A and B are shown apart, each in its own frame.
Chain A
Amino acid sequence: MTCSSAQVLIEAYLDGELGPGQSAEVREHLENCASCTEVYRRLKQLQTDIRAQAPYYQAPDHLRERVRAALHNASERDAVRTRALPWNWMAIAASILLVLSLAWSLALLRSRSSTRDLVAQAILSSHVRSLIGTHLLDVPSSDQHTVKPWFNGKLDFSPNVKDFAAQGFRLLGGRIEYVENRPIAALVYQRRQHVINLFTWPTSSADESGKLELNRNGYHLLHWTKGGMTYWAVSDLNEGELEQFARLYNQ
């Protein structure tokens, strides 16, 4: 690969947009070319600086409330509009049929889903709820020696709590969660502006072991079992970095 070809691709390479073949070619060129490496280094530095220095603005609480209220009003108005047309009985009948058939399909789907899919769905709901509510942490602390003992007496197991602040995954704390009516530990980590929830509980005979990767609604889920414990990591963080987190945890 020539320098001019490499330089055309270098930003796409930095942004992870190249396929494995082209990535390998660019990487190989960089290993052997000081000037292109310098170009790459400057771009990477700019990217790092932007992510460190440009704020990712958080929506203020009053905006969150405003939007919630506005949505509820809109939903009410929709409901009123429907109720205001009682003569539209065909539409109502059609809606009832639709809801019934959806419910039936859902029941059918649920009976076919594996336990693991149900757990994945419950885990995802827990994750999303923890982000939109005010209840992310029962024990807010970045000290694993504070978080781990906090679970004593609240759970019938002691979760493995680790901190990877040095590698860019900061422990924020923990909370008790309920999945399938069982109390479990949720350990919360932060990577830049992304929250990672790591759910863990002792593996039971009903749990399916083995690794799993899922994408649902823009969130990534990783599942594995190790040392008699089940783990689910959920985040909107990209898969590559979430896998990095999982690997760190498993060391």
Chain B
Amino acid sequence: MKERIAIIDGIRTPFCKSGGKYKTLQADDLGAIVLKELVARTNLDVNEISEVIFGNVAQPIHAANIARVITLKAHLPESLIAYTVQRNCASGMEAITTAANKILADEADVIIAGGTESMTHIPLIYNEKMTQLFAALFRAKTLWQRLKVLKTFRLGFLKPIIGLQQGLSDSVIGLNMGQTAEILAREFAITREDQDRFSLRSHRRACNAIQQQYFKSEIVPVPIPPKYNQICSEDDGPRAQQTIEALQKLRPYFDRLTGTVTAGNASQITDGASAVLLMKESRAQAMGYTPLGYLKEYAYAALPADHMGLGPAYATAKLFDKSQLSMDAFDLVEMNEAFASQVIANERAFTSKEFGQKNLGRSEALGEINPDLLNVNGGAIALGHPVGTSGTRLVLTLLRELRRREKQLGLATLCVGGGQGAALAVEVN
């Protein structure tokens, strides 16, 4: 049997709404903050680190291979190798599982894996027409030629392509993520009421967790440049005053006429970073660490892109096949709340024998998820979903909550744009 991968400790920045508190911090800045803090909190000798792996979705143009940029900004040794992974919303998990594989293959001993995202800084870009105009302008040699090119300019050329919108769309099927959530709502007959109730619960649970200071030990406060007169030490997404009525007033965002998915029952657009320290169990013992927990098993699965929200069901089925685990073995479940309808669809898919037989090739249903054990401290609807980071945060938050409750086994799972799912089984002892 292969050795377990120990997750020594983890850290994250507070999650803050995009365009808000972190508007002066780039994704690499956020990453550097968690990286150096994790090294400090684990009292790790920087020379022990073999590699740094970060997940990041939007990949800012000023920081190609953002993992290396983060490593250098955190003032870790120049000799330290680092690379970036991208599996859309699972990028922060991909960093962990890639690291685990490297360690198990004896390619590395000690890896810091994490995720970072600044949705604030996903750029607006010139559209095709404007880009072509520029290209023609660069080619033009004489003043006359240049003027001729300029004559073709129309005001519409200035309409930008919003990078964030494009990023959250699937160009293969021509749908954006919200539209895939609408498909699930219809197929699983999830009402607007169901979705809004779920969202309200997410906010309530997150607010409670913040009030009880459950997140405090996983968060590093962030001094905000350039004035540094503000220290951000709490997630700013959860709304203590949220009411069901207010949620019900919102207009559907993706399908204005007949839709049910609103900005209120979808995940928030958020910035943040998170990182964990990984090594073999034996190495952790040798270094005198008491790990936060262990990675037991993981699986990624693919499915039709327009049903990408069901990724958790597909990936969890694969995970069960790989590990002989079953649903009732899990003490807690963290399922990323991309959309309320998407989580509810999974809940229903998990309990449906028909779905198990038809889509997952199983004779029985996957098993019911106890709503009291699902996202007990709220999820992305309240806390936000910095796409490259969420995967790491789910694992971190899950392990901490398992420890707090003195429980053993947890499932962290999420859906991935483009039609994939990820599922990680983690355990405390």
Decide if A and B are genuine partners.
no
